[in-house]
Amino acid sequence: MLNSVEWGEEVYLKDLFTIKRGKRLTVENRVKGNRPLITAGYENTGVAEFIGNNNQEIFPEDTITIDMFANTFYRNYSYSADDNILVLFDKEKIPSKAKNFIVGLINKVLSTKFSYGKQYRMGSFEETKIQLPIKNGKINFSFMEKFIAELEAEHIAELEAEHIAELEAYLVATGLKDHTLTVKEQQVLDDFENGKITFKEFTYESIFNKIVQGRRLTKNDQISGDIPFVMAGTTNTGVVNYISNPVASFPKNSITIDIFGNTFYRSYNFGAGDDTGVYWSDEKNYSKETMLFFAASMGKSLFGKFDFGKKLRSSQSLNFKMKLPFINKQPNYIIMETFISAIQKLVIKDVVLYADKKIATTKSVVEKEI
């Protein structure tokens, strides 16, 4: 496609754009906010952090930035920029997709010419020239727009194929390839909704014969490895690091409850700090679905009861109670497994429909613009 288009003589960037330089803002003077701050660098397209400084100019979306190393990016959002950034404004309106095309040309021309020893500044901009497609002696913006639109369409197709493959693999691995509810699953959901499932309270120690507190391991003593190490908190479900320390190892198919009552099911072997209790049974082979139901019920029973002023230890929880479906005075494991299986399918179905809708919407937008 690029070989078939007519190319004109080189043109100066200064004939297409006016420029403005960003303003210096040291790290210690940055105020946290939600406006992107552009600094020199390729990583994360130069977005260093998000600021709220009122004394920094806000540059509009649909502009181009070039940093001191000549890294060039199109910005479809408003932002601020430090003094190592040049912001390019159209002299005459250039379509956004054409600007993306121009960014590629600028990067091609400048990619190896600038570094710490030779920085891209206003004088460099004055001398920069690029070659553009033309038609009937004029810059062919329509070709540039179509070229970028087709690249976007190809990218969407690749993302769609990748999404389908990843989702298919996940569904197979989790046994949820078929997310259509069975008759039994639908019946359990209906019975739950209509209050037809009866519950009874069971103590934690009646369900688990192993209730153990983790062991203290400070951050400085943690040795990098591949064992998930769990501590108090909800971020990343409490996994704070991956270690190789010979600490107490807890088995997969366990439940952790931290000092604040945060409750998570663990499908993997792990270590835990002394602010986390671990619950499992080596006498009863509970299914994953049953353990997930336990975790949900335990979490609900503990919600709002513990904090920094009142911390939970596993030794205190032996006689705590959770509500479970029951039959013949025993937990009804079949109902619990069926209920969790149904919930998983509903969640997966929603994820599939949402992702497919997003892909279809993006594809339709791209196709309209081609």
Q: What is the pLDDT of residues 87-129, one digit of tens each?
A: 999 999 999 999 999 999 999 999 888 888 899 999 999 999 9
Co-location of 45 and 124 in the same domain: yes
pLDDT higher than threshold 80 for residue 194: yes
Co-location of 153 and 239 in the same domain: no
Co-location of 66 and 215 in the same domain: no
For position 354, what pLDDT does the model report? 65
Is the residue at 86 inside a domain? Answer: yes
Co-location of 222 and 252 in the same domain: yes
Co-location of 279 and 294 in the same domain: yes
The two tokens of residue 277 are: 């209790």
Report the DSSP pairing between strands 80-81 and 32-38: parallel
Q: What is the DSSP string of 90-131?
A: ESS---HHHHHHHHHHHHHHHTTT-SSSS---HHHHHH-EEE
Is the residue at 41 inside a domain? Answer: yes
Co-location of 157 and 208 in the same domain: no
Co-location of 217 and 190 in the same domain: yes
Q: How confident is the model at residue 159 (pLDDT cuts 50, 70, 90)?
A: confident
Cα–Cα distance list, 299 to 256, 267, 333 (Å): 10, 17, 18
Is the residue at 176 inside a domain? Answer: no
Is the residue at 172 inside a domain? Answer: no
DSSP 8-state class, residue 181? P
Co-location of 155 and 124 in the same domain: no
Co-location of 123 and 212 in the same domain: no
Co-location of 23 and 119 in the same domain: yes
Is the residue at 1 inside a domain? Answer: no
Q: Does this model's pTM top 0.75? A: no
Please, which residues have CB within 8 angstroms of residue 182's CB and are 6 or more apart in sequence?
none
Is the residue at 174 inside a domain? Answer: no
Please, which residues have CB within 8 angstroms of residue 195's CB and are 6 or more apart in sequence?
none
For position 360, what pLDDT does the model report? 65
Count how many domains the chain has: 3
Is the residue at 177 inside a domain? Answer: no
For range 135-149, the mean pLDDT: 92
Question: In this structure, are residues 124 and 69 in contact, taking their beta carbons and an 8 Å threshold?
Answer: no
Q: What is the pLDDT of residues 7-56, one digit of tens each?
A: 999 999 999 999 999 999 999 999 999 999 999 999 899 999 999 999 99
Q: What is the pLDDT of residues 240-270, one digit of tens each?
A: 999 998 877 899 999 999 999 999 999 999 9
Co-location of 273 and 322 in the same domain: yes
Cα 99 versus chain centre, distance: 28
Question: In this structure, are residues 217 and 225 in contact, taking their beta carbons and an 8 Å threshold?
Answer: no
Is the residue at 96 inside a domain? Answer: yes
pLDDT higher than threshold 90 for residue 164: no
For range 347-368, the mean pLDDT: 64
Q: How confident is the model at residue 367 (pLDDT cuts 50, 70, 90)?
A: low
Co-location of 116 and 79 in the same domain: yes
Look up the domain containing 225 and give its range.
183-345
The CATH number of the domain where 57 resides is what?
A: 3.90.220.20
